[in-house]
Amino acid sequence: MKIIFQYIIVLAGALAFMSCEKDNYEPPKSQLTGKLMYQGTPLNFQYNRVSYELYQDGFGKTGALNSTFTPEGEFSQLLFNGTYKMVVPRGQGPFLWGSAADSQDTVVINVNGNTNMDFEVLPFWMIRNPQLSAGSGNVTGTCSLEQIVTDANAKTIESVTLYLSKTVFASSDNNIAINTIEGNAITDVNNISLNAAIPTLVPAQNYVFARIGVKLAGVDDMLFAPVQKLNL
Amino acid sequence: MKKILIILFILISFNWACESDKEFLDRPPTQVLTTEQAFSDPAQVLSIVANLYSRQFNLYRLSDYRTVGDFNEAFYARDQGIASQYHTNSTWDFRGVDFGGNNFSWTTWDYTYIREMNLFLERVELATIRQELIDRYTAEVRFLRANYYFELAQLYGGVPIILESQEYDFSGDPSYLQVPRSTEAEIYDFVIQEAEALKSLLPTDPDSKSRATKGTALAMKARAAIYAASLAKYNNAVTPSVSLPSGVVGIPASRAEEYYNTALTAAKEVIDGTAGAYSLYLKNPSDLSENFAAVFYDKNANPEVIWADDYLLKYRTHYFTGANQPRYGAEEEEGGALNPTLNLVQEFELLDNAFAPIPTTDANGDPIYYDNQSDIFANRDARLGGTVILPGSTFKSRPVDIWAGYQLADGTIITGTDRGDQRILPGQTVEQQVVGFDGPVAGAVQNAQMGFYLRKYVDPVPGSGQRGVQSEVWKVNYRYAEILLIAAEAAFELGQPDVAAGYINQVRTRAGFTIPLTATDITFDRIVHERRVEFAFEGQYFMDLKRFRIAHEIFDGVTMSKADLLADIGKATNRSTMPWGLWPYRIYNPGSPNDGKWIYKEFLSNQVTAADNWQLGNYYSLINNDILSRNPKLVKQPLQ
């Protein structure tokens, strides 16, 4: 009986060792990071809205790693070293990715150790000189808009909105006050002014976050100016 | 000697075993029928057909109350988790709402079902039963197959159309089995053609509700054609970016008129009685609200229902009534899962055909005092009372007890934290009830949190709210009122508003309206509105949101204030991003003429933190990576 017990211990030990060796892979260690820019200016989006896909071929079924850009237009993934293809699906984001509007080009990325890769994309419009200020219970935002894409893919402005929020995620999801100008009410795109009253903050805090977003007709995802913390 | 005997005995027994083994291996299994056996007996064939019927797919299912109330037509008061899933998320997944277990509200991709229908159609041809039975079963299963493709088309646009049972030859190359998606127009054409062919193959029998008949085929044809027509028209006019260059999503605008004509013709065939005598249900003209509710629970010679997914006590039941019954005195200690919202309730018009908010305040902003709770809903569309259990009405002969508290002369509210709670009112010494036994209680679950309970499809039969009994109310798939409204919509789009008015007025007369609409009253908003109130909680609203391309305007992600709520009632694109409720309060002011009267207040629950935002990518359901990687010929949906 004692001998059998010893055998079991030896066998179990051997099994444990073997399984350790076989089953455990190295975790992915290479970080792929980057951001979306237009002529060096980072683009800003809504949280969890603009998605991208990463593909890696050669391992059976192909399927995408889906993720979304941060509000600051950045992305990051922890990956194994190898060759990946990145693409923003058609119709995602307030910008043109790659050369053509209809068939998006995938971009090949070689990941070998930590890799940083910034992308230049062509936004339909850009928000220029966003100025935000708080005073006497109001937040005032001014900006000008510049149309970047003017060819057949051009988009018209549906609305421009100023969002106030208690957190940095100022957007249609998270806001305490908004002020919107409809696109057809805009007379001068170089001189847009928005004004929203700050409601009572519960629980009280002596600052708010604000940012300006542009909604384009026929595009789901809005383009934002950088969020700003305003002390009251 | 003994040993020899035993050995002999064993040898002999081996002999036996050897002999019967041969037979044993050839013995037919008793629990599996071969194809020949299954298709040689009429009862067996019928049971296969019944199985295929029972697997029909409905987006709105009585077996799962969650499928019925989305889009802020109802507030999900079942529990906190479900409430937060629906009311604290502003966007929908591209597959709808996550039901858990990789199961989403706007998905079905059951090609196993299609394959089994294809197999049935191939095998039944060789069946050794009467030819007339073969013909009928073939027609019925072809109908079910077209019906399922129609459901797929509504969710996905074009999908692979497979009309034969595919077999893999184990050659290592499955590409010949991979069928690309059809165009969106092709799949609607397929459904329309099948319906056209089947109308002469299926029996003309308006009394048969759960099996396909000529009326069912024509109803499917009318609905498919009107859906295709409106997709062709409004996708190109409103959301041209929701399309794929190959036409897999997006029907050319030039085909709209043809589809509208098809829809009108098919609807007229039903109206003219070629499929048998269908008519609007009107057994109880003295109480039109009860009459409207009975359309859904009266299964005895119901002239309105054309096709229903039927249930039968003890055999096939659902718990929709138990989930949604009024909580006070309910047959189980649960109910009130879906609370219809004020957004929907106020859409029911006044009897003079005017749209108006539920009047809570007068022109000066002062509250209006009502003697009876139900007075505030007076002179409205009778369908309101047939769709929603209102404060002051009854269910299963028991008055519902919906009120949120007492309001004192100075405007203070005295209320409780539980259903039927008691408090001491000022100037009194004894505790008394200060909130209804049906709620509403803010934050509590399973009560009338919006001030209303659901009536449609909720079964008035005793026992229907018990877990052990459940309900046999059927899910109506097609009914005559929809045929009339399809005809009205098609006629309107084809520039015949007077014809449209004639059809729409039939439906409205049954709802208690006495002033007919004229040709000039018929607008796009009218058509959309009439469908919303007539078919609330029946499933058509989901597709109406999509095919008229109004969803992204209704759910534009903007927080909905009270002013937003009360504005633009009756407009097709009226914002409805948050579910609002309507809470009744009782006045406590002894000595005042208003003492004991009722006032109402619009109410936004603090559980509602998100304003719904429909993305253009939501117009078609996601085909997930698993399906895409199995068939590389499938293309992805637009804007996803």
ipTM: 0.78
Query: Does residue B17 register a pLDDT over 60?
Result: no
CB contact under 8 A, A90 and B239: no
CA distance A183 to chain B (A): 15
Report, in this order, helix, strand and coil percent for chain B, each rounded to 5: 40, 10, 50
Average pLDDT over chain B, rounded to an integer: 91
Residue B147 confidence (pLDDT): 95
Give the mean model confidence (pLDDT) for residues A49-62: 84
- Give kind and range of the element (H or E) at residue A33: strand A30-38
Q: In angstroms, what separates the C-alpha of B407 from chain A's closest C-alpha?
A: 26
- Indicate the DSSP class of residue B253: G
Do the Cβ atoms of B625 and A90 come within 8 Å?
no
Collect all residues of chain A within an 8 Å Cβ-Cβ radius of residue B616.
Answer: 91, 218-220
Chain A residue numbers touching B636 (CB-CB < 8 A):
89-90
A14–chain B nearest CA distance, Å: 38
Q: Give chain A's contact residues with B (Cβ, < 8 Å).
A: 61-64, 89-92, 102, 172-173, 175, 178, 180, 218-220
Mean pLDDT, rounded, for A212-225 = 89
Judge contact between A147 and A168, C-beta under 8 A. Answer: no
Chain B residues inside the 8 Å CB shell of A90 = 636, 638-639
CA-to-CA distance for A145 and A216, rounded, in angstroms? 12
CB nearest to A63's CB, from B610, B629, B639: B629
pLDDT of B34 reads 86
Nearest-CA distance from B204 to chain A in Å? 47
User: What is residue B6's predicted lDDT score, i.e. its pLDDT?
Assistant: 78
**How would residue B495 be classed by pLDDT, with cut points 50, 70 and 90?**
very high
What is the average per-residue pLDDT within B243-256? Answer: 91
The minimal CB distance from B639 to the residues A63, A91, A172 is found for: A91
A158: which chain B residues are within 8 Å (Cβ-Cβ)? none
Residue of B nearest to A53 (CA): B640
Report pLDDT for A59.
81
pLDDT > 80? residue B94 = yes
Q: Determine the Cα–Cα distance for residues B159 and A92; give it in Å rounded to an integer.
A: 23
Q: Are residues A145 and A214 in contact, defined by beta-carbon separation less than 8 angstroms? A: yes
Of A89, A172, A219, which has the smallest distance from its Cβ to B557's Cβ?
Answer: A172
Quick check: helix, strand or coil at residue A176?
coil
Rounded to a whole number of angstroms, the distance from the CA of A64 to the nearest CA of chain B is 7
Residues of A in contact with B626 (CB under 8 A): 63
Give chain A positions within 8 Å (CB) of B559: 175, 178
Phi, psi of B426 (to 5 degrees): -60, 140
Q: What pLDDT was estimated at residue B345?
A: 94
In this predicted structure, what is the pLDDT of residue A49?
A: 86
Q: B90 to chain A: nearest residue by CA?
A: A173
Residue B112 has pLDDT above 90, yes or no: yes
Helix, strand, coil percentages in chain A from 3-state DSSP, rounded to 5: 10, 45, 45
- Chain A residue with minimum CA distance to B615: A220
Does the distance separating the beta carbons of A61 and B629 come in below 8 Å? yes
What value does the mean pLDDT take over residues B25-51? 87
| Span A151-195, pLDDT tens digits | 888 889 988 999 999 999 888 878 888 888 988 888 888 999 999
Name the average pLDDT for chain A: 85
Nearest residue on chain B to A91, judged by CA atoms? B639
Q: Which residues of A touch B613 (CB under 8 A)?
A: 172-173
A219 chain-B contacts, CB cut-off 8 A: 241, 616
pLDDT at A99 over 60: no
pLDDT digits (tens, 9 = 90+) for B380-428: 999 999 999 999 999 988 899 999 999 998 989 999 888 889 999 888 8
Which residue does chain B place closest to A217, by CA atoms? Answer: B239
Inter-chain contact B613–A218, Cβ cutoff 8 Å?
Answer: no
Give me the mean pLDDT over the B171-198 stretch. 93
How many residue pairs from chains A and B have C-beta atoms closer than 8 A? 49
Q: Is there a contact between B241 and A92 if contact means CB atoms under 8 Å apart?
A: no
Token couple for A10: 């030896």
Neighbours of B257 (CB within 10 A): 15
Instruction: Give B76→chain A minimum CA distance, Å.
Output: 20
Residue with tokens 């402005």: A157
Give the minimum alpha-carbon distance from B623 to chain A in angstroms, rounded to a whole number.
12
Q: Which two tokens stand for residue B349?
A: 């018009």
State the pLDDT at residue A101.
46
Residue A7: band (very low, low, confident or very high) from pLDDT cuts 50, 70, 90: confident
| Least confident segment among B22-31, B172-181, B384-393 | B22-31
So what's the pLDDT on residue B280?
94
Q: Could you read off the pLDDT of B157-170 as tens digits, one per residue?
A: 999 999 999 999 99
Interface of B to A at Cβ within 8 Å reads 90-91, 239-241, 245, 557-559, 610-611, 613, 615-617, 625-626, 628-630, 632, 636, 638-640
pLDDT at A22: 57
Please report residues of A whose CB lies closer than 8 A to that of B640. 89, 91-92
Contacts 24+ apart (CB under 8 A), B623-632: B623/B109, B623/B156, B624/B95, B624/B107, B625/A63, B625/A64, B626/A63, B627/B109, B628/A63, B629/A61, B629/A62, B629/A63, B630/A61, B631/B160, B631/B178, B631/B179, B632/A62, B632/B178
Taking the C-alpha atoms of residue B506 and residue B256, their distance in angstroms, rounded to an integer, is 26
Among A63, A89, A173, whose Cβ lies nearest the Cβ of B640? A89
Q: What is the pLDDT of residue A122?
A: 87
pTM for this prediction: 0.89
Distance, CA of B563 to CA of B586 (rounded, Å): 24
Residue B508 confidence (pLDDT) above 90: yes
pLDDT band at B559 (very low <50, low <70, confident <90, very high): confident
Strands A115-116 and A30-38: parallel
Of B240, B625, B639, the CB nearest to A220: B639
CA distances from B484 to A92, B266, B489, B507 (A): 40, 11, 9, 7
Q: Which residues contact B184 (CB under 8 A, 6 or more apart)?
A: B153, B157, B158, B228, B231, B247, B248, B249, B250, B251
Average pLDDT over residues B511-524: 93
Q: Which residue has the higher pLDDT, A91 or A207?
A: A207
Taking the alpha carbons at both ends of chain B, their separation in whole angstroms is 87
A104 in helix, strand or coil?
A: coil
Compute the distance between CA of residue B512 and CA of residue A12 in angstroms, rounded to an integer: 80
Question: CA torsion sign, A86 to A91 to A94 to A96?
Answer: positive
Q: Which residue of A has its CA nearest to B637?
A: A90
